[in-house]
Amino acid sequence: MSLTYKHYNLNVIKRRAMLIKKIELINVLSDTLDYLESNLPNGPSNHSKRTTLIALKLAKVLKLDASEISSLCIYALIHDCATSNEEFHYLEKFGRDELEKSKIHCTLIESITPHSIVRCNDVNIILYHHENWDGSGLFGKKGIEIPLLSQIIKLASDIEILYRANKNSTEIFNLINIKCNYYYSQKLVDTFNVVQREPLFYKLLKKSFIDIELKSIVGNRTIDINSSALIELTIIFKAILNTKSPFTNEHSTRVSKLAAIMAEYYNFDEERTENFVFAAIIHDVGKLLVPNSILNKKGPLTKDEIFIIHKHPIHTQRLLNKIYGLEEICNWASQHHEKLNGSGYPYGLKESELCFESQLLTVLDIYEALSADRPYRPALSYEKLSIIMQDMVNKGELNEDMVNDALMLLRLKKNA
C-alpha cells in the first residue's frame, strides 16, 4: 500500500514567516565561501567576511542610513560568492585574488543578487564593484557613474587583500592614498584615512576578532526568509556549488526536482515543500570541502578517500546548524546517507531516529545517483536501479513503501 503523509503523523502547518538572525546568515554564507576556497592555494581567506566588516566601518563614517548599511552588508558579503567552473580551475592554480581581474563573477553574482533579502532598489552594485574612479575598471564606468555602495565594496575588498598580504598599516595607507582619484574618489580615501586611525581597526581584522566585531555591529537584526528569499538563497547555493563542481550542482538540482514531485504526491503543505526542496538543493554542500580529485575519480576510492567523502554530511550539518530555525532542514539535508538498519553514515542512525523527510531524501538521493552518469560508471537503466533499490529494501536499509512510491511515480513522470 502506498504511503500517505498521514501515515507518519506529520502535522500540516500553515505558511509562516521564518525570521532568522542576520548575523547567522552572514556566518553561513561566509563559511560556505570558505568551504569553496578550501582547496585553493593558501586555503580559506575569510575575504568576504573581512571585506564586509571593513565596508560597514566605512559606511559608518560616511553616515549612510540604516537601509543602505543593511543592503551594503549583504552586497559586500556575496560580492565574490561564485564564478564559472572554468575560472575556478584557474583560481586553483593562481589563488582566489585573481578573481579581482574578472568580469564573469561580476555578471553572474549581479544576476543572482537576493533582492528579497537585500531589500534595496539599487541595481548593478555587484556588477560594478571592480570599477575604478578614473574609468579604467572592467566595465569602464567612471566617477559618479559608479554606485557609492560599489565604490565602498571595491575599497574594502582592496584593503582586505592588502591586509591579507601582510602589508603593515603604513604600507596599506600609502598604497590606498597613492591611488586617490585613480582607483578611488577623494571622498572614499578620506573616509578610509579616518577609519584606519581607529586604535583597534587592524586588530579587529584578525580572524579571531572578526565574528565578535561583526556581531557587535549587526546586533540582533533579523531577516524574514519568505518564499522569495528562500528561492534566492537556493539560487546562491546552487551558484556556489556550480563554481566548485557542476556535477555536484546538477545532482543536487535533479534531487530537488524529485523532491518537489514526491512532496506533491505526499500532499506536503507549501512551507514543508519549500523547505524539503531547499534541503535537497543543499544536501551536498559539505562536498565543497572534498577535493575534486576525489569527487571526479574514475577508479575505486582508497580508504582515506572514502573517509573524506563520508564526512561531507557532517560539514553540511555544521554549516546549517549556524542558523537557528533551520533545524528541520539541517537534519533532512545531513542525514541523506543514513540507513534504516543503522548501516549508513556518518552517525549510523536507525529508523526510529530518522523522520519521514530524512528517509525520503535518502531514497531520492540514491535514485538520482543510480539513474545518472557517474565518473566511474554510466547511468543505470530503470530495471537495474529498481533491482538495486529493492535489494536495499530487503536488507532493511530503505523504506519499502517510499521506494515503491518513488519508482512508480518517477517512472510515470519519465514516460509522460
In a domain, residue 6? The reply is no
Residues 129, 25, single domain; the answer is yes
pLDDT at 17: 58
Three cell numbers, residue 183: 582607483
In a domain, residue 11? The reply is no
In a domain, residue 81? The reply is yes
Distance, CA of 272 to CA of 260 (rounded, Å): 10
Q: Could you say which of 192, 224, 256 is where a domain stops?
A: 224
- In this model, does residue 350 exceed pLDDT 50? yes
pLDDT at 298: 84
- In this model, does residue 123 exceed pLDDT 90? no
In a domain, residue 9? The reply is no
Residues 252, 376, single domain; the answer is yes
Report which residue type is found at 111: S
Three cell numbers, residue 76: 559586500
Provide the number of structural domains found in the chain.
Answer: 2
Distance, CA of 340 to CA of 112 (rounded, Å): 38
Q: By residue range, what is the domain housing residue 159? A: 18-224
Distance, CA of 56 to CA of 75 (rounded, Å): 11
pLDDT at 405: 95
Residues 123, 219, single domain; the answer is yes
In a domain, residue 3? The reply is no
pLDDT confidence band for 415 (50 / 70 / 90): low
DSSP codes of every residue in 3-64: --GGGGTPPP-----EEEEHHHHHHHHHHHHHHHGGGSTT----HHHHHHHHHHHHHHHHT-
For residue range 183-218, list pLDDT tens digits in order. 999 999 999 999 999 999 999 999 899 999 999 999
pLDDT at 174: 98
Residues 257, 213, single domain; the answer is no
Helix (H, G, I), strand (E, B) or coil at 386: helix
pLDDT at 1: 33
Three cell numbers, residue 380: 543505470
Distance, CA of 416 to CA of 410 (rounded, Å): 10
Three cell numbers, residue 345: 553514515
Residues 267, 135, single domain; the answer is no
For residue range 303-342, list pLDDT tens digits in order. 999 999 999 999 999 999 999 888 999 999 999 999 999 9
Which residue in this structure is represented by grid cell 538572525? Answer: 21
345: domain CATH number is 1.10.3210.10
Residues 110, 252, single domain; the answer is no
Residues 135, 196, single domain; the answer is yes
Residues 330, 195, single domain; the answer is no
pLDDT confidence band for 162 (50 / 70 / 90): very high
Distance, CA of 148 to CA of 140 (rounded, Å): 16
For residue range 28-84, list pLDDT tens digits in order. 999 999 999 998 998 899 999 999 999 999 999 999 999 899 999 999 999 999 999
- In this model, does residue 11 exceed pLDDT 70? no
Q: Could you say which of 195, 224, 253 is where a domain stops?
A: 224
pLDDT at 416: 55
pLDDT confidence band for 410 (50 / 70 / 90): confident
For residues 162-167, average pLDDT: 96
Q: Could you say which of 224, 251, 273 is where a domain stops?
A: 224
- In this model, does residue 7 exceed pLDDT 60? no
Distance, CA of 64 to CA of 75 (rounded, Å): 15
Which one, of 124, 145, 142, 123, lies nearest residue 133 by Cα? Answer: 142
Phi and psi of 390, rounded to 5°?
-65, -35
Residues 258, 213, single domain; the answer is no
pLDDT at 116: 85
Residues 22, 84, single domain; the answer is yes
Three cell numbers, residue 254: 535533479
Average pLDDT, the chain: 91
